[in-house]
Structures are given as C-alpha cells and as structure tokens.
Amino acid sequence: MSSSVPEKADRVDAPVVDQRTVQPVEPTLRQPADPTTDQPADRIADPTADPTADRTADRTGGTTTDETADRTPDDPTADRTGVAPVAPWERRRRAVTAMVLTTVLVAGQQYAVVPLLTELGRDWSAPPADLTELVSAFGVAAVAAFLLGGSAARRLGTRPAMALAMAVLAFGSAALAAAPSLAAGGAFRVVQGVGAGFFLAGALTHLRDRVAPDRWPAAARWVVLTVVGAGVAGPALAEAVAALVGWRGVFGAGAVALVWSGAWLHLVLATAVHGPRGVLLPSLRQKGKVLARPRAAVLCLAMAPVLGGVGVVGTALESLGPETVSGDADTMVAVRTAAVAPVALVALAGGFLRRLRALRVAATALVVDAAATAALAVGGGSVGVVAVALVLVTLGVAVAAPALHEALAAVAGEARDSVLSLSLVTLVLGASLEPRLVSVLGSAGLPLVLGVVAAAFLVAAGLVVWVDRTSRGPAERASAA
C-alpha cells in the first residue's frame, strides 16, 4: 500500500495531454528552386527529409542552421563573404543582363571589321574586297573553338573558362589595334575567334545547366536572336567609334570593353558549372546523328546563308557600294544603326511568333530577305533604298534564324544543347564563308554579288518549304493545297 502512493503522485505530477487537442503534423517538403534562378534545376524537394527536423535560426545570416548546412559549395545563394545575401530575382536579373550584353560584345567582333575595310585597306595597302578574309579567319576559328570549348568549360568550370576566353579575346583585340600588316591582322583575328568561340561554348554550357527543360525553347530563341543582333549591332557600333577615333581606336576601345564586361560577368555569375569529362566525342556523335536525318540536314543548309546574308550585304556596300553611300560616314552610321531596330522588334514579338508555324514563318522571312536584297541590287545608289533594304534584310534574318532553330529542334528530336550548338555553328560558319563572295565576285560589281545573295535566300526558302511539306501528313497537305 505504501508503495502505491508515490506511483500515484508521479502520475499526478506528469503533464496531462488531451489527445483531442493534438493536431497532426503536416510534412513540410522543400520547395523546388525556381529554375530561372542561378540555382541548378535539379534542386527539388526531398521526400525523405524529416519533416519535424529542428531548424534553429542562424541570426548571423538570416537563414536557418539546417539550411546553411544543406548548402553545397555550388549553391549560388550561399553567403561566403558575410555580406547581406542578394535576392534571387535580383541576382538573376544581373546575371542575364551581363550575359546578354557580353555575348553581343563578343559575337559582334566578327563583323566589327566590315565598316573598317576601306581604312584597313588604305593602311595595309590592300584592296578592301580582299580583306574579307579577316571575317572568315575569325569565324572559322570561333567555330573550331566552340566545338572544343564545351568539354574544356566543364573541365575548368564555366566561370573560369569564360573569364579566360574573354582575356584571350581582349588580347587579340589589343594586338589587332597595333597590327602593321594584313598578315598580322589575320593572325590576330584568329586569336580573337578562338577567344570568342570558347566564350560562347562556356556560356552555352552554363545556360544548359541553369535553365529548366520546359524553359529551354524560349532561352534558346533568345540565344539565337542575341547572336543575330550582335551581327547587326557590331558593325553599327564600330562605324560610330571609328568616326571618332579611327579603326585602331575601335579595337583598342573594344579590348578595354571586353576586359570590363568579362570582369562584370565573372562577378555576377554565382558559381561555375562543372561536369563529366570526355563529353567531346559523344557531343560530336550526337550532332552527327542529327545531321543524318534528311530534314535536319536540309534545314541546316537553309540556315547557312541567313546570318551570312547580312554580312555579305554590309561588306558589299562597304567595298563595292557607290561613293555617295559608302563614302559618307555619317550616312552609313545612320543606316547601320537603323538596321538594329528590327532585331529589338522581333525580340518584343517573340511570344507571338512562337505561336505560329515555325517553318512557314522562316520561309516567309527568307522570301522577304530575297526581295529586299534584289531591290538593293537594282537601286543601291540611293540612300533611301539602302536604308529600307537593310532594315528589311535585318528584319527577315531576325525572324528566320530563331524560327529555323525551332524547326530544327522539332525535326531532330535530340538533346537540347546539341540542336542549339548545331544551329550556332551553322549560323556562324555561314557568316564566315559567305562574305568571301565579295572577293570572288567583286570584280563583276555590286549588282551581281547582291543578286547571288538574293538567289541564296530564295533557295533557302525553297528548302524550308520542302521540309514543311514533307513534315505534314497527307490529309494536312491536301487541306493546305
């Protein structure tokens, strides 16, 4: 009896819990990271995590101790400096702005020499039409470096790889500013191309690992449009700077701008992306599988003269155009600057254009390119005709290039990065080789060169129409007819 009293007292002192008032604990899973931020897209909720884990507030950083422990070295939101963390949307905005502007500056180097051909030929004692090899040397080197650069970027990390590429490109620009001859200038253009190709490969690798698959089509469209815009904005900016400081000042100022933009991009990109080694051969094989499909190969042929057409038109006007047009620097600055506006217009209308059938959009745009180039061949002596024709050619190219990439992605059905890299290789390679028409056919005059370009645009439109018809079923072709 005496031993039962303490047991009863112990039971009285114990807290009494009313089971009716206990609420079930709902498991709290980690929310998926926003795939548009700098965080990797595969950071998803962990269904095996303990929902009742104690998360003690870390007052030094405004985060929880458990969250801080979970962060990996590649987490872009990790606070390594003790500075107040930046909001994810603000970090994303800075990174996208830096990436776009730096890409325009890098890709624009290919056609930056086009408005300088006359001055280069005078200082280097060479005909301007023969200087188109400066465009080709840059582009071919860039394509080779681009194909090799993806594997190197994964080995080194994308952020260090892009910084190194920008340093190489800046060195090539600074050396080109002091080049004494065409041979030296061609060698430094190769150096520029290598830097540009490695940068674009690193940027594409970084984007591939940061953008979620469902948002990749829109991102790829922006990449293609950015490269096209760089091909138009590069000559316009070079023409404006050359009017103030000469052609050597263009490349000297370009070297400074490249160093500054490379440092900016290195700071705003949160972390580097690393990946498995030995991806070069599988990547090349994957591109080969895409090209083995007949419709994909035909679309690549149709894409080749798109960006190169803009280069040929600009190069032909600079080298072979009438003195009333090409000889007036102020007029050419105004004309080239006006040609940038269609690219911005297409960027704003991207959502609408994506709702249309890509092959039909591309074919229509290529026909507009052919008509505008033919009109320029006939009435190229008038400033008004030149301005309107350049705007229409740029508009057609800005519409056709992203549409052709979307059509290629639909036909190929392969990995997203292989299709985009194949599109970029095709565009840049065409932009490198097609301006050689000026040196080959330049003796025949401006109308013949532009007539060949117009015919190339028409052939490309015909190829796109063929792919469109063969891609549809019999019933759909009958209804279209």
The Cα–Cα gap between 199 and 422 comes to 16
Residue 478 has pLDDT above 90, yes or no: no
What's this model's pTM, rounded to 2 decimal places?
0.77
| More confidently predicted of 429 and 69 | 429
Q: Can you say whether residue 116 is alpha, beta or left, with left for phi > 0 and alpha for psi between -120 and 50 degrees? A: alpha
The Cα–Cα gap between 398 and 386 comes to 18
At 302, is the secondary structure helix, strand, or coil?
Answer: helix
Tens of pLDDT, residues 31-44: 444 433 444 444 33
For range 194-202, the mean pLDDT:
93
pLDDT value of position 136: 92
Residue 479 has pLDDT above 60, yes or no: no
For range 428-456, the mean pLDDT:
90
Range in 41-55, 131-145, 150-164 the model is least confident about: 41-55
Mean of per-residue pLDDT scores for the chain:
79
Residue 305 has pLDDT above 50, yes or no: yes
The Cα–Cα gap between 320 and 329 comes to 15
Tens of pLDDT, residues 9-26: 444 444 444 444 444 444
Quickly state the pLDDT bin for 325 (edges 50, 70, 90): confident
pLDDT value of position 271: 67
Could you tell me the CA-to-CA distances from 226 to 133, 152, 219, 398, 420 in Å, in that order?
24, 23, 10, 9, 13
Tens of pLDDT, residues 437-446: 888 888 888 8
Phi, psi of 63 (to 5 degrees): -120, 175
| Bridge partners, residue 64, by sequence | 57
At 224, is the secondary structure helix, strand, or coil?
Answer: helix
Residue 228 has pLDDT above 90, yes or no: yes
Residue 58 has pLDDT above 70, yes or no: no
pLDDT value of position 158: 84
Q: What is the DSSP code string of 364-405?
A: HHHHHHHHHHHHHHHHTTSHHHHHHHHHHHHHHHHHHHHHHH
Helix axes 216-268, 383-412, angle to 10 degrees: 110
Helix axes 294-320, 383-412, angle to 10 degrees: 160
Residue 272 has pLDDT above 90, yes or no: no
Quote the distance between the C-alpha of residue 285 and its chain's center: 22
Residue 477 has pLDDT above 80, yes or no: no
Residue 292, class by beta-carbon neighbours within 10 Å (0-12 exposed, 13-18 middle, 19+ buried)? exposed
Residue 57 has pLDDT above 60, yes or no: no
> Residue 231 is encoded by which pair of tokens?
């091909």
**Number of H-type helices and E-type strands within the chain:** 20, 2
| Structural domains of the chain in order of their starting residue, each with its CATH number | 90-480 (1.20.1250.20)
For range 199-219, the mean pLDDT:
86
